[in-house]
Amino acid sequence: MSVQPAMPKSWRVDTKPHKFCPGCGHGLVLKALGQAIDELGIQDRAVFGCDIGCSLLAWDFFNVDTIQTHHGRTTPVITGLKRANPNLIGIAYMGDGGGYAIGSQHLVNAASRNERITVILVNNTQYGMTGGQMAPTTLPGQKTETTPYGRDPEKTGYPTQGPEMVAAITREGAYVARGTVANLRQLKNYLKKALENQMAGNGFSFVEVLSTCPTNWRTNAEETWKMVEQELPRYFKVGEIKVPGQKEGEANG
Ligand X SMILES: Cc1ncc(C[n+]2csc(CCOP(=O)(O)OP(=O)(O)O)c2C)c(N)n1
Q: Which residues bind ligand SF4 (CB under 6 A)?
A: 20-21, 24, 26, 54, 124, 128-129, 213-216
Strands (DSSP E) contained in the chain are: 46-50, 65-68, 89-95, 118-123, 126-127, 133-134, 175-180, 205-210, 239-242
DSSP secondary structure letter of residue 151: B
- DSSP secondary structure string for all residues of 199-240: HTT---EEEEEE---HHHHT--HHHHHHIIIIIHHHHS--EE
Find which of another protein, ligand SF4, ligand X, none residue 82 binds, CB within 5 to 8 Å per kind. another protein
Report what 96 binds from another protein, ligand X, ligand SF4, none; CB cut-off 5-8 Å by kind. ligand X
Of 35, 66, 137, 161, the residue at the interface with another protein (CB under 8 A) is: 66
Cα 46 to chain centroid distance, Å, stands at: 16
**DSSP structural state of residue 34:** H
Give the contact letters, 53-92, x = binds to ligand X (CB under 6 A), - = no: xxx---------------x---------------------
Nearer to ligand X, 121 or 251 (CB): 121
User: Interface residues with another protein (CB under 8 A)?
Assistant: 10, 12, 43-45, 47, 52, 56, 59-60, 62-70, 73, 76-85, 87-88, 105-106, 108-109
